[in-house]
């Protein structure tokens, strides 16, 4: 019986590009974005501002997207040499982008519903109170 060895014609199909600097910077941006999101949502509830709430929830979608991106960095790094991924783990980021888009559409729908509710039954926004003139914003 004749045996053929194909080893000299084989090559790896790992097209994953690993970038540690981008992963570290993405984590820094995630932290800054999360802090901004929390401040905007809390301020939106305190002052009854739909604009702050909308932007806070919008920032939540960015936090989700950054978390997904960091997950894909870690997942790609962990499975970079896994032979089950014929062309590497590059498609993981595309799937992460799709999931992020679905989350953004969901939040946009929720914001639209809240905005319509506010149009139909408006809430009072306290923007011209004497407490603001005294720099005592949280005493409302």
pLDDT of 11:
65
Residues 6 or more apart whose Cβ sits within 8 Å of residue 4? none
Closest alpha carbon to 110 in 30, 69, 50? 50
Mean pLDDT by 10 residues, the chain (140 residues): 74 62 87 96 89 89 86 80 70 76 84 88 72 51
Residues 36 and 78 sit within 8 Å (Cβ to Cβ): no
DSSP letter (8 states) at residue 137: G
pLDDT of 14:
56
pLDDT of 140:
47
Q: Enter the tokens of residue 105.
A: 């559409």
CA-CA-CA-CA dihedral for 28, 30, 36, 41, to nearest 10: -160
pLDDT of 95:
79
pTM: predicted TM-score of the whole model, two decimal places = 0.57
């Amino acid at each position: 019986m004749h045996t053929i060895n194909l080893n000299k014609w084989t090559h790896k199909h790992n097209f994953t590009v690993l970038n540690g600097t981008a992963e570290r910077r993405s984590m820094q941006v995630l932290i800054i974005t999360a802090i901004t999101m929390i401040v905007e949502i809390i301020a939106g509830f305190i002052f009854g501002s739909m604009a702050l709430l909308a932007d806070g929830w919008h920032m939540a979608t960015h936090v989700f997207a950054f978390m997904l991106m960091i997950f894909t960095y870690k997942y790609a790094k962990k499975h970079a040499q896994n032979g089950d991924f014929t062309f590497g783990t590059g498609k993981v980021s595309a799937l992460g982008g799709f999931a992020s888009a679905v989350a953004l559409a969901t939040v946009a729908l929720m914001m639209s519903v809240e905005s319509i509710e506010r149009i139909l039954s408006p809430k009072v926004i306290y923007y011209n109170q004497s407490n603001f003139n005294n720099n005592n914003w949280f005493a409302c």
